[in-house]
Structure 1
Amino acid sequence: MQREIEEYMTHLEWEEKSPATRSQYRRDIEAFFRWTPGGEVTKEQVIDYKGHLREVYQPASVNAKLAAINGFFAFLGRHDLRVKQLKIQRQAFCSRERELSKTEYLRLVRTAEARHSDRLSLMIQTICATGIRVSELHSITAEAVERGEAVIQLKGKTRVILLSGKLRKKLQRYLHRRGVKSGPAFVTRTGRPLDRSSIWRMMKSLCAEAGVESSKVFPHNLRHLFARCFYAIDRDLAKLADILGHSNINTTRIYIISSGREHRQRMDALRLVL
C-alpha cells in the first residue's frame, strides 16, 4: 500500500496541493492503515474508523481526516469505500478560548519589542496587517516592499496584496538595518525563509510574558483577526474574500464570526427579556 500512497502524493503535487496539505494527507492516510487489521479494506472498517475518530477528535478534525482517506480511495477507484463526513452546523460565534482579541495581539507585539526581537514583532504585524497565510510570508520580499505590494501565488491562484504605508515604512527600515536588498524579508541566520513550525514556536514563546493563552496564539489566528478588523470597517464580504484568497465566500464567513461575549451583547440589545 505504501507504493499507492506515494503515487497519490505525486498526484496531489500535480494537483498543486501545498506541501503542508500533502504532509497532512499522508499522516492521515497512514494513520488509517495503521489502525486497520490488514488485508482487504472493507466499508465496515472505514465506518468503524470514522466512529473511532469521533471518539478522539473534534468534528472538524474528523472531517479533515475523512477527506484525506476519501480522496485516496477515489484515487484508487474505490469509491465504494468512501464515507460521509459529519454534518456540522455553523456556529454563530467563536469560542472565547480560541479568539485572539486586538488587545491580546498588541500585547504579543509589545512583548516581542520588549525582548528586542524586531524580526518577530514585525513578522507578527506583517501577517496580521495583510491577512496572508503563514505559508505566504515568503512572498513579502525586499522587491515587494519596494513596490508596496506583494504577489501571492498559491494553489494555482494569483492575487496581489497591498502593503499599507505604515507597514511598508517599518519593513523598509527593518530591511535596511538587516542589509537585505533582495529576496524574502524574514529569514534564518543562514538566509533561508522561516518555516511554519519556527514561526509557530517563536509566537508561542511570547504567551506567558504577554499574558495571552497559548491556545489563541498561532499564525492563522492573526489572519482571522485581520478579517474581523477589516470587515468591521469595510463590511464588504466579497472584497474580503478576494483579499484572503478565498474561492468560496462561505469560507470567509467563518473568519468574521464574533465572540460569544459580543453575541450576548447583541442579544441583550434586542431587549426581549423583561
Structure 2
Amino acid sequence: MTMINYSMQLEKYIDYLQNEERSIATVCQYERDVLRFFSFLNLKELTKDAVLQYKQELMKAYQPVSVNVKLSALNSFFSFIGRDDLKLKLLKIQRSVYCSEEKELSKSEYFRLIQAAEKKKNKRLALLLQTICGTGIRVSELKYITAAAVNCGEAVIQLKGKTRTILLPKKLQKKLKNYLRRERIVEGPVFITRTGRPLDRSNIWKMMKNLCRDAGVDAKKVFPHNLRHLFARCFYSIDKDIARLADILGHSSINTTRIYIITSGTEHRRHLDALRLVV
C-alpha cells in the first residue's frame, strides 16, 4: 500500500473517529500521532520491524505514559485498516500510589483562584471554576450547563456515545440563576463569549492561567482538568464509593477513576506515620 493510499485511509479513519463521537482533542491527537509515524516511515515499507523501530524512537524521546498514548493511537489506526498484525504491546507502568505535590491543586489554592477572579471582577470566570469543580464535569462538557439545566437543577451530558445526568449543588444552582438574570441569558449555554458562542477549552485555559500570579498558585497546577481531579478527591474523601464516583465522572473503567483519587505524597507519608511501625 502506497503512502497516498495510507493518507486516504487516514482521512477515512478520522471520519470514523468523528462518527464515533470522539472528542475533538482526541481526534486531533490521534491524527497527529499517525502522521508522525508516517513521517518516521518516510516512504519505507510498512512492516512490523518498522513499527518496532518507531516504538524504540518514542521510548527515547518521551515518558512511558506519553509513549503508550501514541502507541494506542497507532494500534487503533492499524485495527481500522485491518492490520492487527502491526499492533504493539503498550509499556507496562507501575501505577504510583501517590501523586506529585507539584501537580496537585489543593482546595485552598482552588479557593484562592476564585478569590483572584472575583477581585478582577470576572464573575463569569469565578463561577465557571466553581461549576467545573462543583460538579466534576470535563471542560468539554461545560456547554451542557445551559439555562434550562440551571432552572431544573440538573444537566444531561452526552459524550462519547454515553449519556449521564449531572446534579447541580443547590448553592451553585442559586449562583448560576443570579448570573443568568444579571447577564440576561434565557436559553442556551451559560458560559459564552461576547458574540454568544460557548467558551472553548483554549479560552478557559488562558483565563485560568492569568489568575495564577494574583492567586499565588503555581501555573503548572492550574488547568481545567485539575478541577475535575479536585472534585474527585473531595467526593471520595466523604463518600468512599469509587463505583459511584466513576458513574458521576462518566468513566467506563474504575481503573481510570483510581487515578483521580490518588493523594499527595504529604498525605501518603502522613498515613505511613500513623501506622507507628517504626520504633
Following the alignment from structure 2 to structure 1, what is the Cα–Cα distance between the partners of residues 162 and 247? Answer: 11
Q: Deviations over 1:31-84 (max 9, x none)?
A: 111122323122222112112212222211111111001111111111121111
Matches within 5 A, 1:255-270: 255-270=260-275
Q: Deviations over 1:166-225 (max 9, x none)?
A: 000110111111110000000011100011111111111111221111111111110000
The correspondence for 1:94, drawn from 99, 102, 109, is: 99
1:180 aligns with 2:163: no
**Match in the other structure for 2:150:** 145
1:31 aligns with 2:42: no
SS in 1 for 2:165: strand
Give 1:243's aligned amino acid. Answer: I
User: Comparing 64-73 with 13-22, which one deviates more in the overlay?
Assistant: 13-22
- The TM-score normalised by the length of structure 2 is 0.96
Q: Deviations over 1:16-36 (max 9, x none)?
A: 212221111101111111122
Give 1:16's aligned amino acid. Answer: E
Q: Deviations over 1:68-123 (max 9, x none)?
A: 01111111111121111110111100111111100111111111111001111110
TM-superposed deviation, 1:147: 0.3
**Match in the other structure for 1:127:** 132
1:245 aligns with 2:250: yes
Gapped regions of structure 1 (runs ≥ 5):
none
SS in 2 for 1:150: strand
Matches within 5 A, 1:1-274: 1-274=6-279
Give 2:15's aligned amino acid. Answer: T
Query: What RMSD in Å do the two structures reach over aligned CA positions?
Result: 1.0
TM-superposed deviation, 1:157: 0.9
Following the alignment from structure 2 to structure 1, what is the Cα–Cα distance between the partners of residues 121 and 7? Answer: 47
How many residues were matched structurally? 274
Following the alignment from structure 1 to structure 2, what is the Cα–Cα distance between the partners of residues 56 and 200? Answer: 26
User: Comparing 213-222 with 48-57, which one deviates more in the overlay?
Assistant: 48-57
Give 1:247's aligned amino acid. Answer: S
Following the alignment from structure 2 to structure 1, what is the Cα–Cα distance between the partners of residues 156 and 28? Answer: 25
Gapped regions of structure 2 (runs ≥ 5):
1-5
Following the alignment from structure 2 to structure 1, what is the Cα–Cα distance between the partners of residues 103 and 250? Answer: 22
User: Comparing 146-155 with 245-254, which one deviates more in the overlay?
Assistant: 245-254
Tell me which stretches of 4 or more aligned residues in structure 1 moved more than 3 Å: none
TM-superposed deviation, 1:14: 2.2
SS in 2 for 1:160: strand
Following the alignment from structure 1 to structure 2, what is the Cα–Cα distance between the partners of residues 176 and 53? Answer: 52
Give 1:251's aligned amino acid. Answer: T
Following the alignment from structure 2 to structure 1, what is the Cα–Cα distance between the partners of residues 239 and 164? Answer: 19
SS in 2 for 1:85: coil
